[in-house]
Amino acid sequence: MDLKTKIGAPRSVPIDRIVRENARDVTIRLLTGDREPAPKPGQFFMVWVPDTDEIPLSISRIGPGFIELTVRPVGDATNRLATMRHGDYVGLRGPLGNSFTLSDGRVIVVGGGIGMAPLRPLVHILCSCSQHVTVLVAARTRDELLFVDEFSELKSSNEHLDLAVATDDGSSGFHGLATDLLKHILNRDRPDMIYTCGPEAMMYGVLQLALTYNVALEASLERYMKCGCGLCGSCALDNTGHLVCVDGPVFTQQELVLIEEFGKYTRDATGMRTAL
């Protein structure tokens, strides 16, 4: 791959619209045009928010001539992005990183909070290629659930799709953690693959269940990222030296068990270790 593609062919694209998803999160549609290579579920873009910063955001929808990014405003760049308008430009590099592998068997998709974003396009594709899909949408509370209406609608036209909801406070669906509900599901149904994205403590729990029940797993990881293209090393994982930006963000069960820092610590903007 040439250097320009590796760096993500930097360009600026206009915002089409911004839609509120729940009490916290918004989805931003960017008019990217149809260009090669087409993004795949699990990949991300480096998004340059003018006058603020450039941040990695996973792709939450891949459409004709556009892509969508679903964002939780938690920092300077995400807050600024959430207030931008139709016609404003943002910088874009990508698509970057690897993607989920598609299983044609029985699968479970487990998303926690904003971690549902990269799983959304995956669910849509799996619906057309997998034998059976169970989507488990989890959040702390009902107001933070993502894409539940969209998946309900998808389910009405797809008999191979099941939808389960869990909230920590019990305000919607199962009262408890995503991993508690997943355990119930695994006790009665043994899938071929689990896909997950969300808080690392949740993903670590999902990995333990996948190992116990002997199910393959792919998880999308998050680390502090500056370049997104294998230049700065900010997102390197111990002790394997995997880079989340180019070797990930999606890692397999076999890789995750070797990544010693997974579920334990991360690194801040200076590269210093911080406990999760």
Partner 1 sequence: MEIKGYWLASGILGVTASILRRVHEHGADVVVTKSIGPVPRTGHPGPICTESHGGLLNAVGLTNPGIEAFMQELDQLRAWHVPFVLSIFAQSPEEAARVAARGAEAHPLAIELNLSCPHAEISQIAHNPDLTFRYVHAVKDAVDCPVFAKITPNASDIVAVGLAAERAGADAVVAINTVRAMRIDIQQRRPVLGNRVGGLSGPPIFPIAVRAVYDLYGALSIPIIGVGGVTTWQDAVEMHLAGASAIQIGTAVLCGMDVFARVKQGVQRYLRDMGLSDVKEIVGAAQGD
Whether 274 contacts 266, CB under 8 Å = yes
Task: Kindly tell me which of 158 and 239 has the beta carbon lying closer to partner 1.
Answer: 239
Tell me the sheet residues that pair with 100. none
Whether 135 contacts 163, CB under 8 Å = yes
Q: What's the DSSP call for residue 124?
A: H
* Strands, E assignment, the chain: 11-20, 26-30, 44-49, 53-63, 66-71, 89-96, 106-112, 132-139, 161-167, 174-175, 193-197, 216-220, 250-252, 265-267, 273-275
Minimum gap (Å) between residue 259 Cβ and partner 1: 10
Whether 251 contacts 219, CB under 8 Å = yes
Which positions touch partner 1 (CB under 8 A)?
Answer: 1-4, 6-10, 12, 46, 48, 50, 52-55, 89, 91, 93, 226-227, 229-234, 236-241, 243, 267, 269-273
Minimum gap (Å) between residue 50 Cβ and partner 1: 6
Task: Kindly tell me which of 54 and 255 has the beta carbon lying closer to partner 1.
Answer: 54
Minimum gap (Å) between residue 129 Cβ and partner 1: 31
Task: Kindly tell me which of 72 and 223 has the beta carbon lying closer to partner 1.
Answer: 223
Task: Kindly tell me which of 63 and 233 has the beta carbon lying closer to partner 1.
Answer: 233
Minimum gap (Å) between residue 26 Cβ and partner 1: 20
Task: Kindly tell me which of 102 and 232 has the beta carbon lying closer to partner 1.
Answer: 232
114: closest CA among 56, 39, 197? 197
What distance in Å separates the CA atoms of residue 256 and residue 43, rounded to the nearest whole number?
18
Minimum gap (Å) between residue 67 Cβ and partner 1: 17
What distance in Å separates the CA atoms of residue 178 and residue 140, rounded to the nearest whole number?
10
Measuring CA to CA, how many Å separate 234 from each of 139, 223, 268? 28, 8, 8
Minimum gap (Å) between residue 244 Cβ and partner 1: 11
Task: Kindly tell me which of 6 and 142 has the beta carbon lying closer to partner 1.
Answer: 6
